[in-house]
Structure 1
Amino acid sequence: MGFITENEPLRHDLAFYLPTEILCGRGKVRKLGVELQIEPDLADRQRVVLVTDKGVAAAGLVDEVLAGLADSSYDVITVFDAVPPDSDVTTVYHLSEVIRREHAQLIIALGGGSVMDTAKAGSLIATHGGEIRDYVGGFMVPGPCLPLIAIPTTTGTGSEVSLGAVVKDQEARTKITITSPFLYPRLAILDPEMVKTLPARLVAWTGMDALTHAIEAYVSSDHDPISEALAFRATEMIFDNLEAAVNESDHVEARARLQLAATMAAMAFNSAGLGAVHAINHTVGAMFGIHHGLGNAVALPTVMEYNRPACPARFAALARAMGVDRMDLSQEELGRWAIERVRQLRRALGIPQCYRDLGVPTDEATISAIAEGAMNDMLLAFNPRKMSVDEMKALVARVVRGAESE
């Protein structure tokens, strides 16, 4: 049993907490009013603010939500569709003002990670006041926020079941991360109809985001049996379905399974944490506005190479999840195959191998600035291999300049 990872001892006490109720199935959004009405704590919260973005609205998905509430007592008093692709503090404050002004009782977030994180942060400020930076870090939120219904329209971020929110501070050119049990959505609705019109490139980028979540959670220094089971199965499902979901827009089953895998990967990282890919990419995204999923996809295999010596058995196990079914390979060879499989998938999706190809400067000042930001990111604490500032600079240089032999 466990011939790859062996029967590892439990290294710490374990608490797995997920207050979010998950409803999964085709057509769930069309029954939204019914689903909300049968929840005792939501039945009387009838003043609704719907948070989304203009792309989601243009795709007709807002109309689907409104239709799902049409025969109910729920009243969507405002559709806030001003969330940008890379949400920011200014948008959060605007949303919080709308929530207060409209005396909202319930928030519905319809969109990707930017929309859901904006809804979480906006609800936080509307409820508890203050500045967004007052809540930076872990467990600084003093109490419950307005209940949030999360309806993801992408296949990657996992914010629908996470306790975190990440928004951009434009002035400081940094990403602000807030984590608290009070930020968990009350309800997550996974409806494949909501990802049916997602453009192929966004399926690819958000799918690679989900893969990064799964891999970083699986090899995290804080992994546990529950998180690793979720992360391992999510990795399998992503490798089984991502290319079909990208290449065949009408392959509803592939997109549905990818959507579920993204949620499972987020459940894993809620418990285990993430790592250096996210630490680096948070800084790159804040400085250069690169899509979060795309940025993770670029950095992932290079960081995997760095981390593999710290947990070779875990990388060997991941190779199995990625479809490498060869009993003749050693643990080290399997681990290298896991990295190669990620590179193969990335190439198949047309994703660049380095940040330079996305316009990030390669000079030493930029490398140092990215490394400094990454070293200060709270998620670096969960990376399986610890690093000095100089080691981080060397790693960032490889990710930016493309010093991979592909």
Structure 2
Amino acid sequence: MTNAHTQALSDIGVSIWLDDLSRTLVSSGELKALTEEKNVVGVTSNPTIFAGALSDGSAYDEQVRTLAADGADVDEAVFVITTDDVRNACDVLRPVYDATDGQDGRVSIEVDPRLARNTQATIDSARKLWDTVNRPNVMIKIPATAEGLPAITAAIAAGISVNVTLIFALERYREVMDAYLSGLEQAQQAGVDLSTIRSVASFFVSRVDTEVDKRLEKIGTEEAAALNAKAGIANARLAYQAFTEVFTTPRWENLAAAGAHLQRPLWASTSVKDPALPDTLYVVQLAVADTVNTMPPKTLDALADHGEPDGDRVTGEYADATAVMDKLDQLGISYEDVVKVLEDEGIEKFEASWNDLLESVSGELSKARA
């Protein structure tokens, strides 16, 4: 039986993707069960998730021994291990991909985060991941740094489906949408079938509240306290407003007529960081059609247990969202500084997790060769 709470969210038009991936999740049948019981129609991964998976249990031991015997170095080993996991998850989700005509059933894998400030290296990495996984339902995650924008365009132009990640700023989000449309236009000129290309734009939510609420606490007034846990949702709602504006323009309509698909907003970082907040806050409050919500397992479980999606909570809230952002500005909280700090921190965190992953695999390779 499908869970009533997750079904209610799906009925609003939200695709539920799981923010988790491990070999055990795939091989145990758990991922398939989640598609049948909790409306999960996609998977996202990142270096933190892979590092956690590799350190948990023995699922990777045999492959590590084989790679060690073959003389693989640590970078090669990580590449093989992660692309194998993604490929296998793609195969589990292939029925969802087929049933949704390619909209869902997607599995995302990220380019090496150490390349986030290098356009050409990001393009090369995206092509290699796309070719190696070799599944139509894979998505390549490219960070929305200034250097990442032309890489997004190049990947889309080459017919590669892209999950744009680490978006915090509204201005940067508009640049991401422009990069997507430019890529589609170049693909069309090159004779690529636009209907084969899919993209989502991962707009981070709870991390915005973490940074803003820290600044509100320093201000310490009642006015500041009243804005606690409101910035992330307001920012995301204004992002959706921008999405509706861009994807109703003549430029978009020309591409849509040629078979192009919407680049859906994806709400990322949707677990609450403050235990005082409702654990389904960023799910229920951002429910709206043509979006994806990627949830870590605990948030998915909370939604299934007691989440109460009650319709579109976004499109009628633009004025209130603008008011929240205006009040933050009046209190002296610089939006530009907040989003810059978050982008820089996001890259640093993913680099640190990638280094942890490399260190873990290096240690396992050394043990296997001993």
Structure 2-normalised TM-score?
A: 0.33
Q: Which has the higher contact order (CA 8 A, sep 6+)?
A: 2
Which structure shows the bigger proportion of residues in helix conformation?
Answer: 2
